[in-house]
């Protein structure tokens, strides 16, 4: 009997520890949550874990629908955050809550959420990063180049914001475009326009300054990847037709690609990629040359303001020459 007790003792001890350390706290938390839900009523003002203040509009079982401030456009926020992971969305909401607290406000506003998306995408603002006047001017023309090429093409997403304030990600500025609605498919013309928009920054440097800088490295990388995908994965080439020349490995772990063709075909693909990017680059140069006056006006405005909205951009772009300041 004594041996049985000695053998059972560790299991009894584990059961006691499990009860007091896990089971009992869980039951207490469940009871606390149930009491909290029972106390909630339609019209009660609450704050979510993410920091969004709102008013309860409907209660159904264990789900609560809340009504947030009227100035928050969640459709717009969703479009701006398109492609973000669940973890990134949580970071966006938490960052917005922190911004509201630092500003001494009791609720999260539209601007808090928009800035939080930019923080997650491009990093925090580096206002202590000082550019020379010439560098700042180049960045202003570079970003307006992107925006102007996008605006002068059809099937391009509208410009949401343009800034030349450096970010911790290393970006000296960026142009944000947001589709007006859900967009699941892109045709060949849209992809070509996107490549042209990516080359718009470098094209602006060439048109205005007659020289080029290192600021287009990320644009070049994205344009090249997109052009290559058009040829090898999307079948948008008469020469290769609907033949898969590239496979995607580890789709959910970075999406590395590898070519599945002969060395001769690889050389042909490289040549076609260069031709495609060059054609869109030349188109961007033509657009900016034809709209040089607006390019100068918008770049000077951005240089002075450092950050402008899409509405400001379009207002200046559509302004008649006689009304220009």
Query: Which of left, alpha, beta for 271 (phi over 0: left; psi -120 to 50: alpha)?
Result: alpha
- What is the Cα–Cα distance from 300 to 303, expressed in whole angstroms? 5
Query: Catalytic one among 114, 118, 143, 205?
Result: 143
Tell me the C-alpha distance between 286 and 272, whole Å. 21
How crowded is residue 300: how many other Cβ atoms within 10 Å of its Cβ?
A: 15
Q: Is 143 a catalytic residue?
A: yes
**Where is 100: in which H helix or E strand?**
helix 86-102
DSSP letter for each residue of 210-264: SS--GGGHHHHHHHHHHHHHHHHTS---TTT-S---EEEESTTTT-EEEE-S-HH
Q: Which of 234, 218, 320 is nearest to 276 (CA)?
A: 234
Distance, CA of 55 to CA of 59 (rounded, Å): 11
CA angle in degrees (0–180, nearest 5) for 203-208-211:
70
The answer to whether the CB of 45 falls within 8 A of the CB of 53 is yes
| Catalytic residue numbers, as ranges | 143
């Amino acid at each position: 009997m004594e041996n049985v007790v000695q053998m059972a003792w560790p299991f009894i001890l584990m059961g006691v520890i499990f009860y007091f350390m896990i089971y009992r706290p869980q039951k207490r938390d469940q009871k606390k949550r149930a009491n909290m839900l029972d106390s909630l009523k339609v019209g009660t003002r609450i704050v979510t874990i993410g920091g969004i203040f709102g008013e309860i509009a409907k209660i159904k079982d264990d789900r609560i629908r809340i009504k947030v401030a009227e100035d928050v456009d969640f459709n717009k926020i969703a479009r701006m955050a398109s492609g973000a992971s669940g973890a990134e969305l949580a970071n966006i909401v938490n960052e917005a809550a922190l911004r509201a607290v630092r500003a001494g406000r009791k609720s999260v506003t539209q601007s808090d959420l928009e800035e939080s998306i930019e923080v997650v995408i491009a990093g925090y603002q580096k206002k202590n990063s000082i550019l020379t006047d010439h560098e700042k001017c180049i960045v202003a023309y570079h970003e307006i180049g992107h925006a102007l090429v996008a605006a002068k093409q059809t099937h391009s997403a509208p410009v949401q914001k343009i800034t030349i304030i450096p970010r911790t990600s290393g970006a000296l500025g960026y142009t944000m475009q947001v589709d007006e609605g859900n967009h699941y498919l892109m045709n060949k013309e849209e992809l070509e326009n996107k490549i042209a928009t990516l080359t718009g920054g470098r094209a602006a440097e060439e048109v205005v300054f007659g020289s080029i800088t290192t600021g287009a490295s990320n644009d070049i990388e994205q344009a090249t990847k997109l052009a290559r995908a058009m040829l090898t994965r999307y079948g948008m080439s008469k020469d290769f037709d609907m033949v898969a020349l590239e496979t995607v490995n580890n789709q959910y772990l970075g999406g590395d690609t590898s070519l599945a063709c002969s060395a001769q075909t690889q050389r042909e693909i490289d040549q076609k990629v260069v031709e495609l990017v060059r054609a869109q680059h030349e188109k961007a140069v033509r657009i900016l040359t034809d709209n040089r006056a607006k390019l100068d006006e918008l770049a000077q405005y951005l240089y002075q303001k450092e950050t402008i909205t899409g509405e400001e951009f379009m207002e200046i772009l559509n302004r008649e020459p006689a009304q220009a300041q």
